[in-house]
Amino acid sequence: MPEAQQLRLPAALDVSVLGRRPPVSRGVSDFQIRVDALAEVPHANASDLLKLAPGILLTNEGGEGHAEQVFMRGFDAGEGQDVEFTVGGVPINESGNLHGNGYADTHFIIPELVESLRVVEGPFDPRQGNYAVAGSADYQLGLAQRGLTASYTTGSFGTERVLGLWGPPGESTHTFAGAEIYKTDGFGQNRDAQRGSAMGQYEGRFGATGSFRLTTQAYATHFHSAGVIREDDYASGKIGFYDSYDFSSFASEKVPEGGDASRYSIAADIETHPGDTVLSQQVFLIKRDMRLLENFTGFLLDVQEPLQSLHDQRGDMLDLNVHELTIGARGAARLHGQAFGQRQELELGYFARGDDAAGTQQRLEASTGVPYKTDTDLDAQLGNIGLYGDANLRPFSWLSLRGGARAEIVTYDVLDNCAAQSVAHPSSTNPPIDQSCLTQQDMGRPREPDQVTSTSGVALLPRASAIAGPFRNFTFSASYGKGIRSVDPLHVIADVNAPFSNIVSYEAGAAYAGTLKNAVVVARSVFFQTVVDQDLLFDQTAGRNVLGVGTTRTGWLGALRLTGAFFDESANLTLVRSTFNDDGQAVAYVPGVVFRSDSALFRSLPWTPRGKPIRGSLGAGVTYVGPRPLPYGQVSDDIFTVDGSASLSWGSYQLRVVSTNLLNTQYRLGEFNYASDFHSQPQPTLVPERTFTAGAPRGVFATLSISFGGV
């Protein structure tokens, strides 16, 4: 359904076919995006589809199996800490992941199975829960092509991909199966990766008026990462732009950076329509494991302590292991009736999840790969229960008041197996020397190395939107909402008073939905502001974001979707200023300008071999990111990239050629500024130095697909 129709439809829509009604809009920052022809634009993975929404920048310093770092609406959302990710309502964010609470790896989603994407920028929907700070993103799965489709991709950097998709003829587009096997040597040094993913879903009828869906998913990957490069080492020629310290002439690491990850899940949901009520219920079970090896500082943090055995700098390699099991459910009852001559709706719902998470982080000796220090060893049981009420009231045909409140409780029960790592006055006769997890306290008194801490917090989160229109195809809206971000279990150990950060967001804007000749036009303009009382900032010594002071984002975004008989264009621009609340300084690493354009052209060509037409398609994706502030008054370079594709389809066959970074721009995808020592300097100092992760050079890939058995 085109976006224009989404905006112009009345709130009530009764359907008799198998399917689900889309959620009602929360205003101009509620983007309900059909991928449709924009699938022609090169997208490396499901995360790339986020760029169809305004203000999105994706970076990745950890390799192809590492979740993308998301910048959205002025937030450095890390790998998901500030964006609530779901797939068909099933949460992706990982509570208790030591690499970042809310870590969200979307690489398990096969992009060809993404039917639509709903991105709500801001915490304005009562259904949004934990991590919806900058907003939320929900992937809806589906496969329009019926029958069997098999494809093979080959191209630059030794990349190969085999994909199989199955859509049983006569079944719903939400009944499908898909699997992929992927490998690449990667551009430059130490960037190889392999992965396998499988997804399946069945949608059927439930009674006379309902439907159900069963979804399964399996994913595993092994990958390496090049890590960061010091700018002065690259400028002097000591290391190449696409190289890695792990393979440089002065490398001493025995274990290269990279990791392994897996995810297995099963989910079931039903929706039924007894009378004037819509009832829905979903349950899910997720098993997730991850190992990650990263080194941002080289040989800097292993200083000689007075009571330690004599040693040189042994290395700052972080070895992180995470194991998680998540079980949960969500459900709702939506009632509707007539009042004031208009349809009125009220929804009551809940969300509940429990997480059993275990994680360790150690530091490895570069010469041997042996752990020499334990930073963290946690076992945590985490709970999150939310109740919400949501109303969709229409006092007049031109005015909708949507919103309500959400009550949230977050609970922590954390066993720290390495609770004591320092002692003010150690025993003079039995000092701890090189121990990580100490068994003594002040003056050498004995203690156990572990300690349990439990806490909880409750938040009441009002959210409301007022939507007026349409007036001659224009709709105006204003929204207000509060959200929360639960904190890392590490910070519960540190005795943080409240186990979450509080967020307040405001916005106002206008949208136009209409037609221009034979094209459907949707245009939006919105001003926004979000205030966070405790934000998360990147710490290179911990290898993740850590708690900092409060911040404020103020900005504007504009978006345009233009869809015609032979083209589809989506363009957006976001301007935002992110500042600290205490001194007004700019928040580091956050882009102030993000522009994105996705374009597709498609039509049947004037040739019909054997009576079958040839269909041609062109796709282009253009990204511009303005300079970003860095610590210590530095500023990053800007980023400009162009991706392109061309495809021909004839009968059951399709040939597609894709070029990423078409202009072969040498750009720095991530830039940082901090002290480091990778043994590349004769006299290392603690003076901050620019470091960067390289963006990929030009890549060319060809895909041959064959489809048969469809109706």
pLDDT tens for 541-593 read 555 556 677 899 999 999 999 999 999 999 999 999 999 888 888 988 899 99
What DSSP character marks residue 440?
Answer: B
* Position 615 in a domain: yes
At 534 the pLDDT is 76
* Position 586 in a domain: yes
* Position 436 in a domain: no
Confidence of residue 8 (pLDDT cuts 50, 70, 90): very low
Average pLDDT value for residue range 281-289 = 98
Cβ-based neighbours of 415, under 8 Å, separated by 6 or more: 378, 379, 380, 450, 451, 452
Residue in this structure with the two tokens 């008054």, named with its chain if needed = 633
- Beta strands 83-87 and 135-141 are parallel
CA distance 606 to 594: 39
pLDDT in tens, 23-60: 889 999 999 998 988 999 998 889 999 999 998 989 88
pLDDT at 228 over 90: yes
Q: Closest Cα partner for 640 from 600, 658, 672, 667? A: 667
Number of domains in the chain: 1
pLDDT at 418 over 50: yes
* Position 441 in a domain: no
Average pLDDT value for residue range 460-466 = 96
Average pLDDT value for residue range 470-474 = 94
Could you tell me which residue, 13 or 302, shows the higher pLDDT? Answer: 302
What's at 515, amino acid-wise? T
CA distance 319 to 21: 45
Q: Closest Cα partner for 469 from 28, 1, 14, 123? A: 28
Q: Is 425 helix (H, G, I), strand (E, B) or coil?
A: coil
pLDDT in tens, 694-711: 999 999 999 999 998 875
- As a whole number, the mean pLDDT across the chain is 90
Name which of 8-17, 267-276, 422-431 the model is least confident about.
Answer: 8-17
CA distance 498 to 485: 11
Q: Closest Cα partner for 367 from 314, 317, 319, 316? A: 314
Q: What CATH number does the domain containing 500 carry?
A: 2.40.170.20
pLDDT at 16 over 50: no
At 309 the pLDDT is 87
* Position 293 in a domain: yes
* Position 335 in a domain: yes
Give me the residues paired with residue 684 across strands.
none
pLDDT in tens, 156-177: 999 999 999 999 999 999 999 9
Produce one character per residue of 662-682: b if its CB has 16 or more CB atoms within 10 Å, e if not: beeeebbbbbbbbbbbbbbbe
CA distance 626 to 638: 5
> By the 8 A CB rule, do 522 and 509 touch?
no
At 536 the pLDDT is 66
At 13 the pLDDT is 38
Q: Domain range for residue 668?
A: 3-136+146-425+450-708
* Position 141 in a domain: no
Q: With pLDDT > 90 as the criterion, what percentage of the chain qualifies?
A: 69
CA distance 573 to 580: 23
> By the 8 A CB rule, do 627 and 650 touch?
no
CA distance 159 to 441: 54
Average pLDDT value for residue range 74-83 = 86
What's at 78, amino acid-wise? G
> By the 8 A CB rule, do 136 and 120 touch?
yes
Could you tell me which residue, 489 or 286, shows the higher pLDDT? Answer: 286
At 601 the pLDDT is 96
Confidence of residue 79 (pLDDT cuts 50, 70, 90): confident
Average pLDDT value for residue range 409-424 = 90
Confidence of residue 3 (pLDDT cuts 50, 70, 90): very low
Confidence of residue 11 (pLDDT cuts 50, 70, 90): very low
SS (H, E, C) 167-185: ECCCCCCCCEEEEEEEEEC
At 62 the pLDDT is 82
Could you tell me which residue, 665 or 612, shows the higher pLDDT? Answer: 665
* Position 432 in a domain: no
At 711 the pLDDT is 58
